[in-house]
Amino acid sequence: MNQIRGNLKCFYACIISMLTCLASVDASSERADWAPFFEQLKVEGTIVIYDERPGTEGLMTFNSVRAEKRFSPASTFKIPHTLFALDSEVIRDEFETVRWDGKKRANPEWDRDQDLRSAMRYSVVWVYQQFAKEIGATKERDYLKRIQYGNQDPSGKEPFWISGNLEISAHEQIKFLKRLYRNELPFTVANQRLVKDLMILEAGHDWILRGKAGWDGKVCWWVGWIEHATGPVFFALNIDTPNGTDDIPKREIITKTILNSIGALNLNVEPSAGGNG
């Protein structure tokens, strides 16, 4: 009898989970009218926007099939990875110096001592490789499970968030960002606020743009949100990059153009400075 009750509980839990997922998908508005923004720049990709301002469409998606597909997070993983590093105390705060190992790399901004602010701004991979080594694979996996990040798999070729097995979808990026925005992740509020401060890219008198880019050599990301007094607007875009670095600036141009089109942003669409990672 206990076995039957257990099986029934499992069955009902699965049904509830499926209905929840279906409700989430049904609530999403497919924005086929955003196709020209991708076509004009000759790229394949997807964008998910969750607009919490009153009177807006809420969850909007272009290319909903791809939005559910997982890709390497590349350097967008620096957002949660910074939380892991702070929580495990491999770095104390944004003022602590991470000493350069003296190895010359392709990006000259990487060839010097770093702190969390510069490592995030210039997407300094070697800093986070050092963090990963100090945190350790077991603890990395535990953190990923605690925050339900993508497929939660830190295995494979190093760095695992670029060349390894860790993957996440655009919808899952939005889910993670929403929790961070609300300080709902299983980390101290102080650390979550610090990471959000490190994510600031641009600001005006009544808005703040926070985000992080990433590129694994094949697919590049731009994720984040715009804070308005009336509510945040979250975004997660990924595109294929068959032309290598020539395609990278397109991620920011497409995202800003779409955000401009829904009245969430009113900015120049030229890409800003920062690392390609």
**Separation between Cα atoms, residue 80 and residue 119, nearest integer Å:** 14
Those residues with Cβ within 8 angstroms of residue 256's Cβ, 6 or more apart along the chain or in another chain? 265, 267, 268, 269
* Identified catalytic residue from 28, 64, 72, 75: 75
**Separation between Cα atoms, residue 125 and residue 112, nearest integer Å:** 13
Q: How far is Cα of residue 270 from the mean position of the Cα atoms in its chain?
A: 21
> Is 75 in the active site?
yes
Strands of the sheet containing 207-215, edge to edge, are 29-30, 59-62, 45-51, 231-240, 219-228, 207-215, 200-203
| Assigned token pair, 34 | 């955003």
Active-site residue set: 75
